[in-house]
Amino acid sequence: MAGPDSDTRVVAETSAGMFEISVHRDWCPHGAARFFHLVQLGYYDDSRFFRVVAGKWAQFGIAGTPDVAQAWRGRTILDDAMARSNIRGFVAFANTGPHTRSTQVFINLGDNAGQNDGEAGFAPFGEVVVGMDVVDRLYAGYGETSGGGMRAGHQEALFEHGNRVLDADFPKLDRLIRLRTRPLSR
């Protein structure tokens, strides 16, 4: 499947409102292509922002349907070189080490350059260009307890039960209703 070009944005419809991500293939070719592909497949539709830490990040990317989440869990991509730092509004894949990026994405809610740049491989592939105020409104009351910690192993229930466990145990989480590509007008 083709990757994004310089004239593509991704529009996110959420329970908190809409925002847009400009995907930069030149920053992060593998990450941009994977994100674009998952958006085209509808992978992120009807999922949750399961890890929101005020001033740090808002994370999503475990499909709400367990069989879909499990099917993609081990489908990793190669790392990209760090072309940009993780500053407010920039978007990157989460990982647990080299070449472990799969489907989980985070939006930087603050300047995280000191925490997740360098050899960690959190190469930004895009930036929120419209609606950062919407991203800032995502519910952060659960912090790390609702699905934080890929490295700590706290996500197994999300992969096994999907939205069902999140909706039951963390009902205030915001929903990612759908992501769609939008070509820019010429």
| Phi, psi (deg, nearest 5) at residue 140 | -115, 10
Q: What is the pLDDT of residues 72-107, one digit of tens each?
A: 999 999 999 999 999 999 999 999 889 999 999 999
Judge whether 147 and 60 are in contact, CB under 8 Å. no
Distances in whole angstroms, Cα of residue 17 to Cα of each of 48, 95, 162, 174, 177: 14, 27, 22, 10, 10
CB 134, CB 18: distance < 8 Å: yes
Which residues form the domain of 150?
Answer: 8-183
Residue 2 within any structural domain of the chain: no
pLDDT > 90? residue 185: no
Query: Residue 113 — pLDDT band, cuts 50, 70, 90?
Result: confident
DSSP state of 103: S
Residue 3 in domain: no
* Cα 54 to Cα 51, 110, 140, 147, distances in angstroms: 10, 8, 6, 15
Quickly list DSSP for 15-78: TTEEEEEEE-TTT-HHHHHHHHHHHHHTTTTTEE--EEETTTEEEE-S-SSHHHHHHHHT--B-
Q: Is residue 94 part of a domain?
A: yes
pLDDT(4) > 80? no
Q: Could you tell me if residue 95 is inside a domain?
A: yes
Report residue 156 CA to chain centroid gap: 18
pLDDT (average), residues 173-183? 94
Q: Does residue 41 fall inside a structural domain?
A: yes
Domain total of the chain: 1
Instruction: Report the CATH number that the domain containing residue 175 is assigned in CATH.
Output: 2.40.100.10
